[in-house]
Structure 1
């Protein structure tokens, strides 16, 4: 009997799904909801954060707001990229349950933060939850003394710098600062010893979290939630 060998390229997607089921599953769910949002704008109205959470008892919006992207394609692409790059690294290190706790808790913290600051406002997006995953990745790097994988490192640095500058000085300054930060992070990854790089990353993300929270940016709440949660003994990654 002749056995036909399986093409390794066909096994790769299955291996990815087995390795990162939550990261890929949440990214797929978000993509499907975004497609539905584009096809039918009422989806956005039904799921995004709004005063109806408090006044109408529509609690599901706290979770639904993590799946819609009110700012459109740019928000969707940036958040999905972060979810895939950072989420995969966090899921591999922490496991599925801790990943899910960090993702949901950070996203809910961001929504709650904005409900307090802007009770009459609306909005949504997965970036607060992605921010929490970045916080978890930073704590992991601090503990192990090893920097994250380069793609996740670059995304985390850009996220922290771009959004911090955006809140204070606008898009042009944030774009310039984010680009310079990417170049600096790539150079540091090549040249710096591991410990100084992880210390610098931790300092950058913690500073960004405080600045964003102080300026009323919910991403700061997401970052702080991810940082604080994964410092707790119960949230330590498996040995």
Structure 2
């Protein structure tokens, strides 16, 4: 496990240096990465957008082909939640708190007041995408507080960032505080830790959707393994993108 951490760390540092030296490529790369992030994160929840629908929504245009303002709103809300995470990740000291959880829930559901201001769930949802064990509604406040307090412990802070991100996501998903949006919030919080520590966001691809669901039924290392696989695949794609983009820039400069 340690060797995988070191390999991801080294490749992440190399990619960061490459992007730092090529700001034009870095800007395009970040835009494409966020499109992928929104696409795959939505697909994990069973909502599939086309790349064009996401681009048009983020450009602030009307979604004539998409056919619904709700889709426009939800894509924009996903981007807004990502921006909240990026802003929090830039802080010198990372604090993962209940107000932040509520802020992310509000961002994801802006324009849908019933969900944006939703209290914690009052039941065990019968028709949900996730089938792992979740706590009873009466236990949510105490269990969520325990998950968030864990982030402030010396043991948690001493762990590798990928392990911390996985532990937080796994714990949050077993609390599952909201009927709608808990999965998205859990992944945003995990990526907050990764971004704060200098990693690219962990984007779990839709092809791994079933594996993601299954990992939540198991102990935390199963989710961590999936996250590392996803991060390694993303690094491979990023390295290829940067090589090809740099070659294209050199060709244009001739």
After TM superposition, the score normalised by the length of structure 1 is 0.30
Bigger fraction of residues in helix: 1
